[in-house]
Amino acid sequence: MAELLSLRGLSKRFGQVTVAENLDLELDSGHTLGIVGPNGAGKTTLFAMISGDLRPDSGKVLLEGKNVTLFAPHKRCHAGIGRTYQIPRPFEKMSVFENVLVCVRQGARLRGRLAASRAVETLERTGLIRQANQPAGSLSLLLRKRLEIARGLATNPKLLLLDEVAGGLTSPEVSDLTALIKAIHQDGMAIIWIEHVVHALVDTVDRMLCLAGGAMIADGPPHTVLADDAVRELYLGQAPGGSRDAA
């Protein structure tokens, strides 16, 4: 498959604190990547540099070979990068349909009947069509997470960034959301997913990497990464040779 995203030497510091240090990453079209790591590892900073919310101190972000490092967030969205946020950010007084329609119009830049049709299609795809006319602020947490994904999809991305969308959900709800993400991937969407609910990643992604201290300490198949001694010690809090619980 063709290379979709390439990060070359991305670095970011806040004062004396290094949150990303010379990060390199490639992701092909249609592939899924899970990112794990302790709090403060630089995961959200990495997403912010990919989406354009934060400019790196050095390095490049390439999308389909095009340098988008200096693109503003809306320009990266138009180029094909969609994202969600750990805490859902809907327009609470607007309906679920209106929330998605805004993203279709601003992200995918569609208008009129075509925009409305795309919004309905996105609601059906994410299991929200029955809630289309409800105020977004009235939704349960699970449905708000689904809406957050729907808003990201509505921009017509080539790459979807998922930021801890399983956080705060019960085990059955995590399974419900994981099934949706698998379906989105099966449709050919490339996904990068930051998550602390590790078993959800293991069930979903092709590849996993672990960040710690702004650096990549392991990258490969999920079970291989989780068995890595450095990952078990730094992320899972276990000394080498200890037992592992990826739940």
What pLDDT does residue 201 have?
A: 93
Homologous superfamily (CATH) for 1-80+158-247? P-loop containing nucleotide triphosphate hydrolases (3.40.50.300)
DSSP string, the chain: --EEEEEEEEEEEETTEEEEEEEEEEEETT-EEEEE--TTSSHHHHHHHHHTSS--SEEEEEETTEE-TT--HHHHHHHTEEE--SS----TTSBHHHHHHHHIIIII---HHHHHHHHHHHHHHTT-GGGTTSBGGGS-HHHHHHHHHHHHHTT--SEEEEESTTTT--HHHHHHHHHHHHHHHHTT-EEEEE-S-HHHHHTT-SEEEEEETTEEEEEESHHHHHH-HHHHHHTS---TT------
Instruction: Look at 23-27, 106-110, 240-244 and tell me which has the smallest mean pLDDT.
Output: 240-244
Q: Is the pTM of this model over 0.75?
A: yes
Domain boundaries, the chain: 1-80+158-247, 88-156
Q: For the chain, give the mean pLDDT.
A: 92
Average pLDDT over residues 50-78: 96
Identify the band that residue 245 occupies on the pLDDT scale cut at 50, 70 and 90. Answer: very low
pLDDT over 90, % of the chain: 84
